[in-house]
Amino acid sequence: MSFQSNPLSLSLPEPALESWLRDSGYLELLDQRSSASAPSASASAGSGLGVPPGAGGGFFSSLFSHLGTLISLFTLNPFAKLTTDDFSGETPSWTDGFVGSCDSYSFPSSPTQARLRVQENVKRFARNYATLFILFFACTLYQMPFALVGLLSSLALWDFFKFSDDKWGFNQRPIIRLCLIRTAQCATAVILLCCNVQMALFCSLAVSYAVLMLHAAFRKLTPRKQLIRSGGRRN
């Protein structure tokens, strides 16, 4: 007995389904679909090339694929979809939301999935990444006390300028006030350069960016409701 196809049945093409999931906000489902389709895609690619399943060609193919995915991370702009509203929300839980469990991580199956994860995780964990940058910068200043002294000296210089401005009323003498501002700016630049504050800032940015890219690329997308629920349990 043969069954005929129902013309009224739902038949949605794969690109259309992925576009609908992306537009509807179900990015975690799209991430799961990408991870599930990766083994079958690799197997079909290997069979198309005539490589036996147990041959070493499959290993090198997988290795080059993973290397290509890692290299693609350097071409991504993780802040492409980041907005100021992402910093105004509640900070996700560090344990359940940001770190998660061992099952919360997997290697991205393709550069497309890596881009999806990075851009979405940066939006979701923007406050966590900002906190990590402040922590790394504080640790760097602790390891470079001369840079810490330079930064504090710059802050003290501008605080003294504000105190002098309020006391002697430089607002009524705009030319003198402008000259003092330019002098303070030059002095601040000299202090920061001589104390290697820019090196401390560069090291903090480099470490923070590396942590951001690796965490955002390997962290699976989880439903937003789960992140909100974990944040509520923390409070």
- pLDDT tens per residue, range 137-182: 999 999 999 999 999 999 999 898 888 888 887 777 788 888 888 9
Coil/strand/helix, residue 88: coil
Tell me if 81 sits within 8 A of 42, measured CB to CB.
no
Specify which of 22-26, 117-121, 203-207, 221-225 reaches the highest per-range mean pLDDT: 203-207
Q: Which two tokens stand for residue 1?
A: 């007995």
Q: Distance (Å, rounded) from C-alpha 198 to C-alpha 207?
A: 14
Specify which of 45-54, 72-81, 196-205 reaches the highest per-range mean pLDDT: 196-205
* Angle between the N-to-C axes of helices 111-124 and 126-143, in degrees from 0 to 180, rounded to the nearest 10: 80
What's the mean per-residue pLDDT of the chain?
79
CB count within 10 Å of CB 144 equals 18
Average pLDDT over residues 73-97: 88
* pLDDT number for residue 33: 63
Q: CA angle, corner 27, sides to 59 and 132, nearest 5?
A: 85
Question: The whole model's pTM is what?
Answer: 0.74
Q: Distance (Å, rounded) from C-alpha 128 to C-alpha 114?
A: 19
User: To the nearest whole percent, how much of the chain has pLDDT over 90?
Assistant: 32
Answer positive or negative: Cα dihedral of 65, 69, 75, 80: positive
